Amino acid sequence: MAFDFKKEYKEFYMPPKKPTIVNVPKMNYIAVRGKGDPNDEGGEYKRSIGLLYGIAFTIKMSKMGDHRIDGYFDYVVPPLEGFWSQDGIENGIDYSRKADLRFISVIRLPDFVTKAEFDWAVSEAEKKKKTDFSSVEFLTLDEGLCVQCMHIGSYDDEPKTVALMHEYMSSQGYSLDLSSERLHHEIYLSDPRKCAPEKLRTVIRHPIK
């Protein structure tokens, strides 16, 4: 059976619907940076997703070709994630200003994928898909101490869940630690093309200290 990150690391991907404190270890990601409203059909965010999955599946299918990755094991491609920020906003995201959003779209990499293997995948994807993947990067992040919660519902309703997270954080003696290095983080467990808005599941995570 293929290794599923969501099932094996439930504390990071399947938190309860009530806020909890978690210490997130260092992880490697496929990443694409950009800005603008994520709902724009021809925008940078939509393009970033195609680039991410192009590399993610090149790595996953590498065992089928001539290239072999040491330590490879069969796995389910982890869910899409996003780190979000806005200039001048210190406590999260202003959902009325989506055009001002900056993002880092990411998909987690299995630990066996090195920077060299990542570079091979980019080269291989460019060759096979005739697409420019030069904006895709190998990104290592160490989120550390965070408050997180499972949000059920529309992305536009996230402020209600964020407010609960911040209330819980304060009650436990922590303070928010959002910065240019530590960002608002979302993990998308539902496909909005196939799921009603009120049933979307999104992990929301904020750094704390």
Distance CA 58, CA 128 (A): 10
pLDDT attached to residue 1: 82
What are the tens digits of pLDDT across the range 128-146?
999 999 999 999 999 999 9
- E strands, the chain, are 20-35, 80-85, 102-108, 137-152, 184-188, 201-207
Using a pLDDT cut of 90, give the percent of the chain over it. 85
What are the tens digits of pLDDT across the range 90-118?
777 888 899 999 999 999 999 999 999 99
pLDDT attached to residue 67: 67
Average pLDDT value for residue range 68-93: 87
Whole-number average pLDDT of the chain: 94
Distance CA 150, CA 11 (A): 11
What radius of gyration do the chain's Cα atoms show? 17
Distance CA 14, CA 153 (A): 15
Pinpoint the alpha helices (H) of the chain. 5-8, 10-13, 44-60, 115-129, 158-171
| Residue whose structure tokens are 């060299």 | 116
Pinpoint the alpha helices (H) of 1-114. 5-8, 10-13, 44-60
Distance CA 198, CA 209 (A): 32
Query: Is a pLDDT exceeding 90 seen at residue 16?
Result: yes
Average pLDDT value for residue range 165-194: 96
pLDDT attached to residue 60: 92
pLDDT attached to residue 94: 86
The amino acid at 88: G
What are the tens digits of pLDDT across the range 31-68?
999 999 999 999 999 999 999 999 999 999 886 556 66
What are the tens digits of pLDDT across the range 168-180?
999 999 999 999 9
